[in-house]
Structure 1
Amino acid sequence: MDVPSCLSPSHNSLHASLSPHRAEPLLQGPFRSCLVRQSQRQSPKKRVVFADMKGLPLITVHNFSCDIQHSEKLPSSSSVQQLMPAGPTEVSSYTLGFSQPFLDYDRFNRCLETQKVCLERCDIRGLFLQGTVQVHNVGYEKIVVIRITFNAWTSFFDLPCVYMCHFFPGDTDIFSFQVELPSGPPGPDGTIQFCFYFQCAQQIYWDNNQGYNYSLKPSDCFPMNFVSEQISLSPL
């Protein structure tokens, strides 16, 4: 059997491995797997060191407990009620002398379209007259004023209304007002009257309740003798 020249240096060993008279293996020594599982290295534990602004280590450690110790007892419900501010105890001697405009929706829209300004709703809470007014968005700069009298137009006051922001802009804007009413017994019917005017784009629009103005009347919660005395003493 001819052996190639490239295998000539190991001819004897190859011939010995192919001989049927020798049972010894070519490679001496124990067999080992080529995949050797190495033991996992234990990574050192991380250590966190806190430092101050200058880089120096902080050596003061404060331990806080989750248990909260209350040194004072909670106040009773009666003492809490005494600490709460008292609500308004004084009630106005007037009530509305007209129905809410927004209740008649069609009439309200017609007035708003014609006058460009219209009282939307009004209410008396405590000693305050408050409500909202709608105006047409005919220009950017708007002035809305409530004109009110407490003596049947012998004198009057002009008080500006406040613009109310809303998330859905449209063809109209809303303004609010709040006026303090006089305390004590009410005056004659029609003593307190008010109306609104809206100034925009060098134009002035009025809402005076179709020429009748909005008026307040004496409340039923006051005795009628107070009202009769005020009527007899009134010069009107």
Structure 2
Amino acid sequence: MRFMRDRRRARSLPACTASLLGDGGARKRVQFADTLGLSLADVKHFNTTDEPLVPHAVLSRHRRFQAPAPQTHAQPVLLPCFPEPADAQRRAREQRVALEKVHVTQFEVRGQVLTRTEDARALVFIRYTFNEWLSHVDAPAVRVPNGRFTFSVLVPPLWSASAVHFALGLRSAEGEFWDNNEGRNFSFRYGYGRPHAHALRDT
């Protein structure tokens, strides 16, 4: 076909002059060229102090594929949903038992209870629930000096919408008495706050 005959083949540049003269001591040199006879390769010498020139397109592509920086996610902790217990002495006189202080970490609630009773065999306990009072557990508190008791409740890992509710009970020869935050119970819900333990103390 005609257009095939019109195509021209690319030619290599001629070898060096010494090769054309047939100098037996000279070695032939081959140089590649394009269709216009221009060299296909350039030789550039670099210094160790030279700064490399990276095209902007390459840099932008590199930034696009860089791995994202790891993100840290705060862990939810139990936060109190009741005001700080105040005037435990007065409340203990009125209702025989009162929450004096509470200390909470991510997986534990510990507290101190103040009592006013003449019964040396009085039993103090904490009633708590993890399922909004569908069921509950009664755990005895431990007697310590000066009419006080301490308790500890281990909290299992719960989903962020969960809560821990509890109330304090006293059983003695005089009857049964409660400190349930005036009927509202003492509650902790998961939220994002200070990562260390939260403490409430009697004023």
Task: Please tell me whether Structure 1 or Structure 2 has the larger radius of gyration of its CA atoms.
Answer: 1
> Against the structure 1 CA distance between its residues 139 and 213, is the aligned structure 2 distance closer, same or farther, given a 3 Å change threshold?
same
* Aligned residue identity for 1:177: F
| Cα distance in structure 2, aligned partners of 1:92 and 1:99 | 20
Count of residues in Structure 1 that have an aligned counterpart in Structure 2: 121
> Against the structure 1 CA distance between its residues 215 and 208, is the aligned structure 2 distance closer, same or farther, given a 3 Å change threshold?
same
Name 2:168's counterpart in structure 1. Answer: 196
> Against the structure 1 CA distance between its residues 135 and 200, is the aligned structure 2 distance closer, same or farther, given a 3 Å change threshold?
same
Residues 1:141 and 2:110 aligned together:
no
> Against the structure 1 CA distance between its residues 184 and 195, is the aligned structure 2 distance closer, same or farther, given a 3 Å change threshold?
closer
Name 1:98's counterpart in structure 2. Answer: 82
* Aligned residue identity for 1:156: H
Residues 1:181 and 2:155 aligned together:
yes
Name 2:183's counterpart in structure 1. Answer: 211
3-state SS, counterpart of residue 100 of structure 1: coil
Contact 1:92–1:124 (CA under 8 A) maintained in structure 2? no
Q: CA deviation at 1:123?
A: 1.4
3-state SS, counterpart of residue 137 of structure 1: coil
| Cα distance in structure 2, aligned partners of 1:221 and 1:199 | 36
Give the TM-score normalised by the residue count of structure 1: 0.47
Q: Which has the higher contact order (CA 8 A, sep 6+)?
A: 2
Higher strand share: 2
% same residue: 28
Q: Calculate the aligned-residue CA RMSD, in Å.
A: 2.2
Name 2:93's counterpart in structure 1. Answer: 113
| Cα distance in structure 2, aligned partners of 1:162 and 1:94 | 23
Give the TM-score normalised by the residue count of structure 2: 0.54
> Against the structure 1 CA distance between its residues 92 and 142, is the aligned structure 2 distance closer, same or farther, given a 3 Å change threshold?
farther
Runs of 4+ off more than 2 Å? 184-188
> Against the structure 1 CA distance between its residues 92 and 134, is the aligned structure 2 distance closer, same or farther, given a 3 Å change threshold?
farther
Residues 1:123 and 2:103 aligned together:
yes
Higher helix share: 1
| Cα distance in structure 2, aligned partners of 1:147 and 1:212 | 13
Q: CA deviation at 1:210?
A: 0.6
